[in-house]
Amino acid sequence: MDEIAQEAELSKGALYFYFKKKDSLFFAIVSRKQIELVDLMAERLKDKATGREKLRALIECSVDFTKKNPEYNDMACTFGPAILSRMDKDDEEAFAEKSNEYNVLLFDAIKEGREDGTVRKDLDAVLIGFYITLITISVVSPLPTWKKAFALSGISFQQFLDSYSCFIDPAISKYPEEYSESSKSG
């Protein structure tokens, strides 16, 4: 907190006026990045015609955001789980509110895809949404030990990120054979 106060040209007391504890500062950073990500996602959805295209755009946006914000992603991945486990009520409510903005985009895309026939109807829409969310978080924010395991296997984190949509698309598509053919040529 001393370093942050110095960098922000504030006294440590003034910093604690704005952030009652260190965890609140962490949540402020996460909240700002969540707003940035959701705004970027909403922008990317504007020119997509089908639900499946929107789902893919949301997934690709998460991957691109990770690539452009590696320090944030590493910080959130490394310290986030421990800090999230001790969230207070105010931070928990703010975090849930920001997460819900993403969920609305995701669930709307799934619903649209089910209606337009581009997303499978045999799976529960809410479950699809949560699977996509949890898998995406795990892919874009793997534990540091996983990144080391990738490297030891000759796979860069960049390769891992780039191949994610090829993996997830067939799982949600009504026509998974389209992706198996395109992934063979890509």
Overall average pLDDT of the 84-97 stretch: 77
Quickly state the pLDDT bin for 93 (edges 50, 70, 90): confident
Q: Which residues contact 56 (CB under 8 A, 6 or more apart)?
A: 165, 169
Cα 119 off chain centre by: 20
Overall average pLDDT of the 72-94 stretch: 77
Tens of pLDDT, residues 139-168: 888 888 888 999 999 999 889 988 888 888
pLDDT of residue 180: 46
Q: What is the pTM of this model?
A: 0.77
Single out the residue of 106, 119, 107, 129 nearest to residue 179, CA to CA. 119
Quickly state the pLDDT bin for 178 (edges 50, 70, 90): low
Q: Which residues contact 50 (CB under 8 A, 6 or more apart)?
A: 112, 113, 116, 118
Counting every residue, how long is the chain?
A: 186
- pLDDT over 90 for what percent of the chain? 28
- Coil/strand/helix, residue 154: coil
- Domains, the chain, ordered by start: 2-185 (1.10.357.10)
Q: Which of 13-17, 60-64, 111-115 has the lowest mean pLDDT?
A: 13-17
Rounded-to-integer distance, Cα 67 and Cα 24, Å = 25
Greatest CA separation for the chain: 60
182, amino acid identity: S
Quickly state the pLDDT bin for 179 (edges 50, 70, 90): very low
Rounded-to-integer distance, Cα 9 and Cα 131, Å = 43
